[in-house]
């Protein structure tokens, strides 16, 4: 499991100081970016030096409890599935008391940078994602 920690910022909230619903996706994407960087596939590396992209083709989220400006949260990321051309990450958002405040899921498909056609996961990327998957299952 990969763990990412952050604090709810004012610009992520609505007029009542509550996390604006769509910003849960921004927060989990920040966790996703941090995870990729940790395993050697940061977006700068992907954009500059790789011949593939990883667009999100499906995303879903559930909101369990409110989050307020200043709340510290932990995002736990696990690999739920690894396919031939895609992988799925599942996210749990916990508040400082350890309560589940939200869940989310994203499905990422590998496409060729110039043709935008779906391609098999490159071997180096597959190895990293499968390693995370194995770690999550133990």
What residues are labeled active site? 14
Q: Are 87 and 79 in contact (CB under 8 A)?
A: yes
Tokens of 132: 């995370």
> Which helix (H) or strand (E) segment is 23 a member of?
helix 23-38
The residue to which tokens 């990969």 are assigned:
2
**Per-position DSSP letters for 53-67, written without gaps between them:** E--EEEEEEEE-S--
The Cα diameter of the chain in Å comes to 47
Q: Are 102 and 94 in contact (CB under 8 A)?
A: no
Secondary structure in 3-state letters for 28-51? HHHHHHHHHHHCCCCHHHHHHHCC
């Amino acid at each position: 499991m990969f763990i990412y920690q952050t604090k709810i910022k004012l610009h992520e909230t609505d007029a009542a100081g509550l996390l604006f619903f769509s910003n849960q996706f921004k927060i989990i994407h920040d966790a996703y970016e941090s995870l990729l960087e940790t395993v050697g596939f940061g977006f700068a590396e992907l954009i500059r030096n790789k011949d593939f992209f990883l667009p999100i083709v499906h995303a879903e989220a559930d909101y369990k409890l409110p989050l307020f400006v200043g709340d510290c949260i932990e995002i736990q990321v696990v690999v739920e599935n690894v396919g031939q051309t895609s992988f799925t990450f599942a996210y749990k958002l916990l508040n400082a008391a350890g309560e589940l405040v939200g869940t989310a899921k994203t499905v990422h498909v590998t496409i060729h940078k110039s043709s935008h056609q779906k391609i098999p996961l490159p071997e180096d990327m597959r190895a990293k994602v499968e390693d995370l998957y194995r770690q999550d299952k133990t």
